[in-house]
Amino acid sequence: MQKLKTVFCLTLLLVTLSAFSQVLPKGSLVIVGGGLEPDNKSIFNQLIELSGGPEKAVFSIIPSASGVATQTYVYFRSELLSYGVKSENIHLIPIAMADDDSTKDLDESTWKNNGNDLKLAEIVRKSSCVWFSGGDQIRTMKTLHKADGSNTPVLDAVWEVFRSGGVVGGTSAGAAIMSEPMIGAGNSMGALKHGVITNYKDEDFPDGDGVLLTHGLGFFPVGMVDQHFNTRARLARLIMVMMHDQKTLKLGFGVDENTALIYNGKLRTLKVAGAAGVTLINTANATISQAQNLPQIENLLISYLDEGDGYDIATGNIIPAEGKKSTIGNEYYNVANPGQTGMFSGTATNFLNLITVNLIDNKAVKKVTNLNFTGQDSGFLVTLSKTPESKGFYTDKPFDRYTVTDVRMDITPVKIQVTPLK
């Protein structure tokens, strides 16, 4: 009976993987968390190689999200040229909603309907990489969809590139659009206090009023994407979005600035490249309840991947980069009370420092806490705990870099009483 059960499970796994490989596009995604620096050779070299190499790569740049569309194109074009891409193989796809005030004789806002241009669609279709700029992701959604919500010809051409094995990439807003649904705006504390908003109609969503969830383009098939992640302390806003749609959103990927999450559609793998890392959130076994109209979230699993680390989509295994050594049994730190405050504030305690130095590389503790004030006597207590599955890996070459897997995270609304010592 056991042998029969094993054969059945293996057969089911093979059928599932076969369906997975048949349905999903063969292309790759280069999802950059914003702030891409020209000297980031790891990202640029991998982007260009996936696109066919500097001699053959053909780029279509769509600055639809940008408020300075022409500047955005010129800047990214110069970076590609510096890495050996041929000038004649770099194309501007003039789609934008806002005028670039640096071009006195050109009004880029007149490009807003160019998603319907069949000639532009043909240029995109012949590209090996389509690149989306940063800015406001809502602009990209508006310019690449028709009034009835259907795809414009240019968007259809982007999908053709992706399905046929080409590359789709983007930075900041160009990363946000990879998900379906998509995070449109908001910050972590606003998300915790006011929840998820799905029906906002005005132009500018106030950051502190919650987290705006809207439609994205849906290229990324593995989970939810957020960007500028640790710099802008966006962990809680991504968590709240995922808990809002827990049936379909099991994995969330928070991509740091000057860092890329690279999805290889042929190999069905993920890899991290760049200056920082990617925070992986698993909500499969998480629960959410309410305490005085505030969310209480338990049993999240948090992991962190750095340059060169990989993720096997089929197995869920994290593969540390070559040269990293286990922190378990080799912890550098021994600090018994590393409690800190403010990880949901972009100017306060860094989440990465909390999960690496204070927890996984600290033999003195099994958990650390972090208090985030929402008022004089209220806040959210974050607890990060080692689990039996938690692992850490570390290298100091060329500088300190960590990999962390399966740390439990709980978020609890609390009443705070501050009593002066006597």
Average pLDDT of the chain, as a whole number? 91
The CA distances from residue 350 to 43, 77, 379, in Å, are 24, 34, 18
Confidence of residue 331 (pLDDT cuts 50, 70, 90): very high
Decide which of 301 and 345 is more confident: 301
The H or E element spanning position 7 is helix 2-23
Q: What is the pLDDT of residue 6?
A: 36
Sign of torsion over alpha carbons 204, 222, 256, 235: positive
Cα separation, 402 vs 212, whole angstroms: 31
Decide which of 246 and 61 is more confident: 61
Q: Does any domain span residue 10?
A: no
User: How many domains would you assign to the chain?
Assistant: 1
Cα separation, 296 vs 119, whole angstroms: 52
The domain in which residue 251 lies consists of 24-301
Q: Does any domain span residue 343?
A: no
Q: For tokens 């009004």, what's the residue? A: 107
Q: Does any domain span residue 394?
A: no
Q: Quick check: 71 and 106 in contact, CB under 8 A?
A: no
Region of residue 195 (left: phi > 0; alpha: psi -120 to 50; beta: else): left
The SS3 assignment for 212 reads strand
Cα separation, 350 vs 366, whole angstroms: 19
Q: What is the pLDDT of residue 348?
A: 52
Q: What is the pLDDT of residue 375?
A: 83
pTM here is: 0.91
Q: Does any domain span residue 179?
A: yes
Give the pLDDT confidence of 215-247 residue by residue, as tens digits: 999 999 999 999 999 999 999 999 999 999 888
Return all residues near 129 (Cβ < 8 A) that are at least 6 apart: 47, 50, 51, 57, 58, 59, 60, 161, 166, 167, 168, 169
Q: What is the pLDDT of residue 9?
A: 39
Q: What is the pLDDT of residue 204?
A: 85
Q: What is the pLDDT of residue 1?
A: 40
Cα separation, 134 vs 178, whole angstroms: 12
Q: What share of the chain is helix, strand, coil (3-state, %, to 5)?
A: 25, 30, 45
Q: Does any domain span residue 416?
A: no
Give the pLDDT confidence of 17-34 residue by residue, as tens digits: 333 444 678 999 999 999
Decide which of 35 and 200 is more confident: 35
Q: What is the pLDDT of residue 21?
A: 41
Q: Does any domain span residue 6?
A: no
The residue-averaged pLDDT of 371-399 equals 92
Residue 244 belongs to a domain with what CATH number? 3.40.50.880
Give the type of residue at 214.
T
The answer on pLDDT for 408 being more than 80 is yes
Q: What is the pLDDT of residue 374?
A: 85
Q: Quick check: 223 and 252 in contact, CB under 8 A?
A: yes
Q: What is the pLDDT of residue 274?
A: 97
The residue-averaged pLDDT of 254-261 equals 98
Confidence of residue 207 (pLDDT cuts 50, 70, 90): confident
**Mean pLDDT lowest for which of 144-153, 250-259, 270-279, 393-402?**
393-402
Q: Does any domain span residue 324?
A: no
Q: Does any domain span residue 282?
A: yes
Q: What is the pLDDT of residue 349?
A: 58
The answer on pLDDT for 7 being more than 50 is no
Region of residue 365 (left: phi > 0; alpha: psi -120 to 50; beta: else): beta
Q: Are strands 287-291 and 129-132 parallel, antiparallel or unpaired?
A: unpaired
Instruction: Determine the length of the chain.
Output: 422
